[in-house]
Each structure stands twice: as C-alpha cells, then as structure tokens.
C-alpha cells in the first residue's frame, strides 16, 4: 500500500497516542480483570472481583453484601466536579466577557493575569491554600480580627476546602476557551439587537451566550474531566476526610496494594466520563466544538 505524505505527517501523533494513551489504557484494563497479589501487583487467574468490590463487600460468612462506601466516593467526585464546573462557568464567563470587550492592546495584559497561576507549580499553590484555610491561617485570623467570628472556622480538611482547591486550579481552563470564542465574535450582532430594542440581558441570553456556546462547552469539558479525577486537592486539602476517585485510586496502587481494584476504579471513571461525553454528543452539545 502506498503511503501518502499526509500519513507521514500524522505518524508522530499516532506513535505518541499509541505509546502514551492506548498502551497504558489496555494495560490498566487488563489489570482490572486479574487477581490482586499483595502487597502489590497482579496474578492469575482472571477475575471480576475488582468490579464486584465497587458495589459489594463480604461479611463474616463470606456472603456478598451491598456496600455504598465506594459508590459514595464516586458520587462525591461527581458532585464536586459538577459544582466546580458550574462555579467556574459563573465566574469565568463574566471575566472572559470583560477581557473580550477590552481594547486590543489591553487583552494581552488580562491573558497574562489569568495565566499567572500556571507560572507556579500546582503542588506549591495547593500548599498555599493550606496556609490560608487552616485554623490559625490567614483567613481565620482576618475574620477574628475583624470581629466577624469569635472562634476559627473549620475551613480545612472538608468538601469546602477541596471545592476551593478545584475552583482555583481549573478556573483558567474555563476562562480561556470562552475568551477565545468571544474575542472573534462579530459584535455588530449585539449592536443590531440593541437597535431592535433588546435590553442588555436579552442581548446576552439571545445573542452573546448562543454565539459563545462552543467556548462554554469546551470550557466545561476541560474543567469537569480533570476535576473529577483530581488528586492533589482532595489529598492535601481534604486530608483524608473528603476522598475522591483520584485519591482512592492512588491508595489502591500504593498503601492498599490492590492493583486490580485501583485499575477497575480507573476503568469505571473513564467509562463515566465517556458516557457523559456521548450523551452530550447525542443531545447535540458536542457539535458546538466543531
């Protein structure tokens, strides 16, 4: 078969995707159907025990009993990721709109301000939130000195702290796609809406938001997918009290030594994300990305 020049152009991409995506995916999926070998590793024979463990536990008689402890971790991850996505959208859209409506010479400054957090390692930024949220941290000290509270608030090692960490980490991923979409929008359409006696809110809902929908969908995807599998925020800010899927998977491959269950949890997580994307595509949401 004759190879066209375009094939050789795409060959590096295919090699990278095979080595760093397809091969690890096949390996993890294969591990999920094997038997755990403690204190780490896998062994034969093949087994579905890892997937059964997500939904059931064994009592003292060895009988399977429905157990929700791992389902609660999945639900908490979905809830926090969805909440993070919604808050990022509520905060990111006005910011992107403000950036897109500035003079061209000022937009680069705003882009730089949005991307400043990326100049510092995420681990360091997450540790900084511990200093801010802990009992004797900056925020509690300010509230006490302002006489707004009498006792420090429990702001750290809970879902609130994890949510703050997720919001801070992924907000730029919402702002930048929406800004990129709004920046090239034809603003004469909003002027035409105003000429037809549409007020600002009606223009926003009927003109600006529909035209910005590709950026909104892209931002939601870029925030939700990494947020649901986040590791640093729940591990450091949750302190083991607010477990998410990413932390649970790390524990299974690390301290627990149950590699098949960690692999099965990863496969289920990927399946949930792919199912959500398929539902979006079926409802027509993903066509906004084309």
Q: Is residue 30 part of a domain?
A: no
- 3-state SS assignment for residue 64: strand
Residue 39 forms part of a structural domain: no
3-state secondary structure of 152: coil
User: Is 49:184 a contact under the CB 8 Å cutoff?
Assistant: no
Do 238 and 24 meet the contact criterion of CB atoms below 8 Å apart?
Answer: no
User: What three-state secondary structure class fits 65?
Assistant: strand
Residue 2's pLDDT band, with cuts at 50, 70 and 90, is low
Query: Hey, what are 277's tokens?
Result: 């994307």
Tokens 């199912």 locate to: 275
Q: So what's the pLDDT on residue 7?
A: 78
Average pLDDT over residues 70-96: 95
pLDDT, mean of residues 91-110: 93
- Scan for tokens 């003292």, then name that residue: 60
d(CA 52, CA 270): 17
CATH of the domain at 84: 1.10.3720.10
The whole domain housing 207 covers 68-289
User: Is residue 55 in a domain?
Assistant: no
- pLDDT given at position 117: 87
Helix axes 69-100, 245-253, angle to 10 degrees: 130
- Residue 282 confidence class, pLDDT cut points 50, 70, 90: confident
Q: Does 13 reside within a domain?
A: no
- Phi, psi (degrees; rounded to nearest 5) at 96: -65, -40
Determine the Cα angle at 127 with ends 75 and 173, to 5°: 60
Q: What is the pLDDT of residue 161?
A: 95
Domain assignment present for residue 11? The answer is no
- Lowest-confidence region among 1-5, 33-37, 48-52: 1-5
pTM recorded for the entire structure: 0.90
CB atoms within 10 A of CB 75: 11
pLDDT at 129: 95
Q: If pLDDT is split at 50, 70 and 90, which confidence band does 284 have?
A: low
Inform me whether the pLDDT recorded for 108 exceeds 70.
yes
Residue 188 or 61, more confident? 188
Residue 3 has pLDDT above 60, yes or no: yes
Dump pLDDT digits (tens) for 214-270.
Answer: 999 999 999 999 999 999 999 999 987 788 999 999 999 988 999 999 999 999 999
Burial class (CB in 10 A: 0-12, 13-18, 19+), 92: buried
Q: Is residue 48 part of a domain?
A: no
- Nearest partner of 265 among 86, 52, 45, judged by Cα: 52
Domain count, the chain: 1
Looking at residues 1-9, what average pLDDT do you find? 71
Phi-psi region of 266 (alpha: psi -120 to 50; beta: other; left: phi over 0): alpha
pLDDT per position as a tens digit, 181-229: 999 999 899 989 988 889 989 999 999 999 999 999 999 999 999 999 9
- The structure tokens listed for 243 are 């477990």
Query: CA-CA distance, 141 to 58, in Å (whole number)?
Result: 47
- Please, what is the average pLDDT of the chain? 90
pLDDT attached to residue 226: 93
């Amino acid at each position: 078969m004759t190879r066209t020049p375009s094939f050789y152009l795409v060959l590096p991409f295919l090699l990278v995707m095979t080595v760093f995506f397809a091969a690890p995916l096949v390996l993890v999926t294969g591990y999920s159907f094997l038997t755990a070998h403690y204190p780490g590793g896998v062994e034969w024979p093949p087994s579905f025990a890892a997937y059964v463990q997500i939904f059931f536990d064994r009592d003292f008689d060895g009988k399977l009993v429905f157990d929700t402890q791992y389902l609660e971790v999945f639900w908490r991850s979905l809830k926090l990721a969805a909440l993070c996505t919604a808050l990022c959208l509520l905060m990111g859209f006005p910011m992107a709109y403000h950036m897109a409506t500035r003079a061209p010479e000022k937009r680069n400054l705003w882009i730089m301000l949005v991307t400043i957090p990326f100049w510092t390692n995420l681990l360091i930024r997450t540790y900084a939130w511990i200093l801010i949220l802990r009992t004797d941290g900056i925020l509690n000290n300010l509230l006490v000195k302002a006489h707004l509270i009498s006792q420090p608030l429990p702001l750290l090692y809970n879902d609130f702290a994890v949510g703050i960490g997720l919001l801070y980490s992924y907000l730029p991923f919402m702002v930048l796609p929406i800004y990129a979409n709004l920046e090239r929008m034809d603003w004469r359409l909003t002027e035409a809406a105003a000429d037809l006696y549409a007020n600002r809110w009606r223009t926003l809902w009927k003109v600006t938001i529909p035209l910005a929908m590709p950026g909104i969908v892209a931002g939601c995807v870029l925030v939700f997918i990494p947020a649901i599998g986040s590791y640093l925020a729940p591990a450091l800010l949750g302190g083991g009290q607010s477990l998410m899927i990413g932390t649970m998977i790390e524990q299974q491959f690390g301290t627990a030594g149950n590699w098949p269950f960690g692999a099965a949890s990863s496969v289920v997580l990927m399946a949930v994300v792919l199912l959500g994307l398929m539902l979006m595509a079926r409802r027509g949401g993903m066509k906004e990305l084309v």
